[in-house]
Amino acid sequence: MIFTVLIPLLLACFIPFISRFKQKIHTGVFVFFVPFAIFLYFIQFTGTGFESIQHTYNWIPSLGINLDFHLDGLSLLFALLISGIGALVVLYSIYYLDRSENLGHFYVYLLMFMSAMLGIVLSDNVFVLYTFWELTSISSFLLIGYWHFKEKSRYGALKSMMITIFGGLSMFGGFILLSVISGTTSIQVMIANADMILNHPYMPLALGFILLGAFTKSAQFPFHIWLPDAMEAPTPVSAYLHSATMVKAGLYLVARFSPVFADFEWFFIIVSLAGIITLCWASYMAVHQTDLKAILAFSTVSQLGMIMAMLGFGTKAAVFAAVFHILNHATFKGSLFMVAGTVDHETGTRDIRKLGGLFTFMPITATLALFGTFSMAGIPLPFLNGFYSKELFFDSTLDLREGMNATASFLAEAIPYLAVFGSIFTFVYSLYFLFGTFGGKTQVDKLAKKPHEAPFGMLISPAILVLGVILIGLFPNAFNGTFIAHAAEAVYGGDIVKDIHFWHGWDSTAFQMSLAVVGLGAILAVTRTKWNGVYQVLPGTWSVNKVYNSFMEKLDIYSRKMTTFYMTGSLRLYMALILSTILIVTAGFMLATNGFTIDFSNLAPVSIIEVAVVLVIIAAAIGTVFAKKNLAAILIVGVAGYGVALLFVIYRAPDLALTQLVVETVSVALFLLCFYHLPNLKKRNDPLRTKMTNAIISVGFGAMVTLIGISAHSSDWFGTISDYFLETSYKLGGGNNVVNVILVDMRGLDTLFEIAVLGIAALAIYTLIKFKTDKGGK
């Protein structure tokens, strides 16, 4: 099973070599056999007596992350969709994409995507699932931006990337929480331990994060905005990714985890509410689109919302209907995208206002579109699969679980009405799509090319999909028994044997709802142009896209503002920030831990000469700060330095005193040298406020350091090790000068690196001076 996931990736590695032959043979021909073979492989698992299969390949066993693959009914349904529609899309793309295009890139991305998608549906390990999930985001980003010279492609690719990666990361968080809660990374084990997870306090958080991932990927309201913009991709990509596979990854995720969460009442509320809102909003939005693919994009969003809502209901009937509709939607929506692509290819436009009356020019395409749209609209004809699942949908809305709280039961009351409302618009845009394109008057003069029937090869794939629509419509129970029921059982976690019948009788409420949809929808569809004004009013300026765009724009503006606010380039400001941060953190920590202790019991007596020297140093320090001239400041600093040397003498540190004297002299000399060479700088005249701030920071910092010093002295918890040095200096080091013995013998390593520092400094100065380039930057 792992090979089905890896083979597309492996082939993708060879595509660049194969695509060299593209002048003679279309690269897609080579690619076609891979999804086809995978489809054949998976078809062997269909049948009435199906048992789930589990395979494990070690990847990171120490973290419990292994390539665990699990094939059950749900995975099988998705795997068949991915490989089957994948094969058809590749076939379609052979005729759709010209050989002058950059085919190598296209098929590499497509195969990458196929692998990732198969990986998602087959993974049993949440982290492996997440890996493949992000791979779909990346490959979909590449595919949407395939015509990267178009600005809208780049915009759409970036948008979908931002939104799906946002969701993917939050899903990752949810997975981490889940694996922490359950102590396993295997989805099947989590399902087995659903009770434990449900009762855990972190469960709502994990659920929320995972649902966010599912909603962004499956384009649920308000994250649906990336999908219409992803229509800038080549049509085979739209047909594959944005109708049949990737957008269903979110549905797969919800379905996969619904055995874990379905008993949690907020799962019902959140998922079905999101689904039903998406259904209504997107079907309403689809009605006034003018681009064929935009209609289909919003239509996809609304259908996804419908499936999501059914998954949220979580009843036996709803789960079955959801799984059934996943299959149905993939068939008719795939064919409709291919039809839209064919129309675009043969007439040069996708603008529905320019199209019309194409039935006479493209009868086969129009027939295929007819079946697809009628199935999508749910028109009660016994050979269209869309009607069955829509009727099951209505049926399931009427029989919701008993509301556990007020919100849930109110929602349960409202859902049937919303479902009818959304379906009416579904009906309207389906007819609009069909008759706007193929019915009415021909406007040949507005078209870029003279329309004609598409080449035979381009019609094969949509024809096969439409054949699927009809076959499922004619023999729903044959498909039901072989794999749909298995898939539904995997989601619901119990036995589902449900016969699908066309006719439920006039008194069936679901049938009455269908009739209402058809009736009201037909009226609205006929009078569609009269309502144009109304359609423009509601979304008007109020759209999620605007929110997204202004959010991204504001993010840019405010982050730049924030950066320019503190990254002024002024070293003075950085210094103030660094010092005040140290001040606040250290002082805050000391205060919080009650660290300041002041204890004067252990002090040495103070002699008058020490006081005198310290007073001189203090005077020098103050003088340095208030000195008017730089020269004076330098010299006064020298006074402080010599004062310190004198302190060393007083405290009996002759080595330090000697060194301090010499070093102070050298540094004063160097200061003077710098001062001599400096250009005549103007004296800074800071405003009083800055001066006060600086004063507060420096005084505070000094006070803090002083306090810490006193506290450190007051709490002398450990004895000193200097006794050891004094004792052993002569015995072990052979010297009477303890300081020197410490420097060269006991702590010789420090000295070694200190002289290395000196050496580096000297070489740096030498390099700076001798090897400076001219102003031209030689």
Partner 1 sequence: MYKPNDLILRTTTSLIAFILLGFSIYLLFAGHNSPGGGFIGGLMTSAAIVLMYMAYGAAVLEKVLPINYRTMIPIGLLLAAGTGVGAFLFQQPFLSHTFDYFYFPILGELELATAMLFDLGVYLTVLGVTITIILSIAEDR
- Select the span of 278-286, 439-447, 532-540, 749-757 touching partner 1 (CB under 8 A): 749-757
Q: What does the block give as tokens for 766? A: 């030498």
Is residue 588 a contact residue for partner 1 (CB under 8 A)?
A: no
> In angstroms, what is the minimal distance from the CB of 749 to partner 1?
6
Q: Is 433 helix (H, G, I), strand (E, B) or coil?
A: helix
CB of 604 to partner 1, least distance (A): 22
Which residue number, 341 or 638, has a Cβ lying nearer to partner 1? 638
CA angle 617, 638, 577 (to 5 degrees): 75
Minimum CB distance to partner 1, residue 681 (Å): 20
Q: Tokens 């279309």 label which residue?
A: 26
Contact 116, 130 (CB under 8 A): no
From the list 101, 263, 610, 745, which residue makes contact with partner 1 (rule: CB under 8 A)? 745
Give the DSSP per-residue string, 291-332: BHHHHHHHHHHHHHHHHHHHHHH-SHHHHHHHHHHHHHHHHH
Residue 323 to residue 256: CA distance in whole angstroms:
11
Nearer to partner 1, 536 or 659 (CB): 659
How many residues belong to the site for partner 1 (CB under 8 A)?
35
CA dihedral 414, 416, 419, 421 (to 10 degrees): -80
Q: Are 143 and 241 in contact (CB under 8 A)?
A: yes
In one-letter notation, the amino acid at residue 673 is L
Which residue stretch of 79-87, 124-132, 272-280, 764-772 sits at the interface with partner 1 (rule: CB under 8 A)?
764-772
Q: Which of 93, 143, 145, 139 minimizes the C-alpha distance to 120?
A: 139
Closest contact distance (angstroms) between CB of 678 and partner 1 is 14
Amino acid found at 279: L
With the C-alpha atoms ordered 502, 503, 506, 508, is the resulting torsion angle positive or negative? negative
Residues 646-685, mask of contacts with partner 1 (x by CB under 8 A):
--------xx--xx--xx--x---x--x------------
Interface pick for partner 1 out of 44, 681, 749, 776 (rule CB under 8 A): 749
- Candidates 23, 720, 736, 773; binder of partner 1 (CB under 8 A) is 736
Rounded least distance, CB 646 to partner 1, Å = 16
Shortest CB 188 distance to partner 1, Å:
57
Piece of the chain touching partner 1 by CB under 8 A; list 327-335, 338-346, 473-481, 760-768 = 760-768
Q: Rounded to an integer, what distance in angstroms lies between the CA atom of residue 385 and that of residue 379?
A: 10
547 vs 670, which CB is nearer to partner 1? 670
Question: Closer to partner 1 at the Cβ: 203 or 742?
Answer: 742
- 773 touching partner 1, by CB under 8 A: no
Residue type at position 240:
Y
What count of Cα atoms within 13 Å lies in the side-chain half-sphere of residue 197? 33
Annotate each residue in 454-483 with x if it binds partner 1 (CB under 8 A) or - if it does not, as one string: ------------------------------
Output 508 or 737, the one with its CB closest to partner 1.
737
Q: Minimum Å distance from CB 737 to partner 1?
A: 5
Residue 510 in tokens: 């679901």
Q: Whose Cβ is closer to partner 1: residue 37's or residue 649's?
A: 649
Bridge-partner residues for 68, per DSSP? 56
| Residue 226 CB-density burial (10 A; 0-12 exposed, 13-18 middle, 19+ buried) | buried
User: Distance between CA 232 and CA 291 in Å, rounded?
Assistant: 11
Q: Which is nearer to partner 1, 700 or 733 (CB)?
A: 733
Binding mask 685-724 vs partner 1 (x if CB under 8 A, - otherwise)? ----------------------------------------
Provide the minimum distance between the beta carbon of 735 and partner 1 in the complex, in angstroms, as a whole number.
4
* 727 is a contact residue toward partner 1 (CB under 8 A): no
Q: From the list 61, 608, 769, 778, which residue makes contact with partner 1 (rule: CB under 8 A)? A: 769
Residue 585 vs 673, nearer CB to partner 1: 673
Identify the residue among 16, 440, 709, 748 touching partner 1 (CB under 8 A): 748
If one asks whether residue 315 binds partner 1 (CB under 8 A), the answer comes out as: no
User: What would the two tokens of residue 699 be?
Assistant: 């005084």
Cβ of residue 675: shortest distance to partner 1, in angstroms?
Answer: 13
Stretch that binds partner 1, among 205-213, 299-307, 328-336, 756-764 (CB under 8 A): 756-764
Least CB distance to partner 1 at residue 756 (A)? 6
By CB under 8 A, residue 726 contacts partner 1: no
Nearest to 377 by CA among 425, 417, 448: 425
Question: Among residues 46 and 737, whose Cβ is nearest to partner 1?
Answer: 737
Burial of 737 (0-12, 13-18, 19+ CB in 10 A): middle
Q: CB of 724: closest distance to partner 1 in angstroms?
A: 16
The number of C-alpha atoms within 13 Å of 411 and in the hemisphere containing its C-beta is 25
Supply 121's token pair.
């549906």
Q: Mind spelling out the 3-state secondary structure of 612-648?
A: HHHHHHHHHHHHHHHCCCHHHHHHHHHHHHHHHHHHH
Residue in the structure block whose two tokens are 């309207």: 428
Shortest gap between Cβ of 171 and partner 1 (angstroms)? 53
Find the part of the chain contacting partner 1 (CB under 8 A) among 65-73, 299-307, 467-475, 759-767: 759-767
Q: Which among 505, 552, 601, 74 is positioned nearest to 322, based on CA atoms? A: 74
| 109 touches 93 (CB < 8 A) | no
* Selected range binding partner 1 among 76-84, 198-206, 534-542, 739-747, rule: CB under 8 A: 739-747
Whether residue 222 has a cis bond before it, omega within 30° of 0: yes
Among 682, 770, 775, 778, binds partner 1 (CB under 8 A): 770
Closer residue to partner 1 (CB): 403 or 735: 735
Q: Smallest distance, Å, CB 649 to partner 1? A: 11
33 Cβ neighbours under 8 A, 6+ residues apart: none
Residue 310 contacts residue 321 (beta carbons within 8 Å): yes
Q: For residues 480 and 231, what is the distance between their CA atoms, to the nearest angstrom?
A: 32
Q: Which stretch binds partner 1 (CB under 8 A): 291-299, 446-454, 508-516, 748-756?
A: 748-756
Q: Candidates 89-97, 223-231, 469-477, 727-735 — which segment interacts with partner 1 by CB under 8 A?
A: 727-735
**Residue 541: DSSP 8-state:** T
**Does residue 539 touch partner 1 according to CB under 8 A?**
no
Would you say 115 and 127 are in contact if contact means Cβ atoms under 8 Å apart?
A: no
Pick from 184, 77, 176: which is nearest to 121 by CA? 77
Considering only 407, 443, 549, 740, the residue that binds partner 1 (CB under 8 A) is 740
Q: Which residues are CB-contacts of 331 (< 8 A; sequence separation ≥ 6)? A: 375, 385, 465, 466, 468, 469, 472
**Nearest distance in Å: CB 770, partner 1:** 7
- Of the candidate spans 359-367, 471-479, 588-596, 743-751, the one that interacts with partner 1 by CB under 8 A turns out to be 743-751
Q: How far apart are CA 351 and CA 372, in angstroms?
A: 19
Min CB(744)–partner 1 separation in Å: 4
Question: Which residues contact partner 1 (rule: CB under 8 A)?
Answer: 654-655, 658-659, 662-663, 666, 670, 673, 733-737, 739-741, 743-745, 748-749, 751-752, 755-756, 758-759, 761-763, 765-766, 769-770
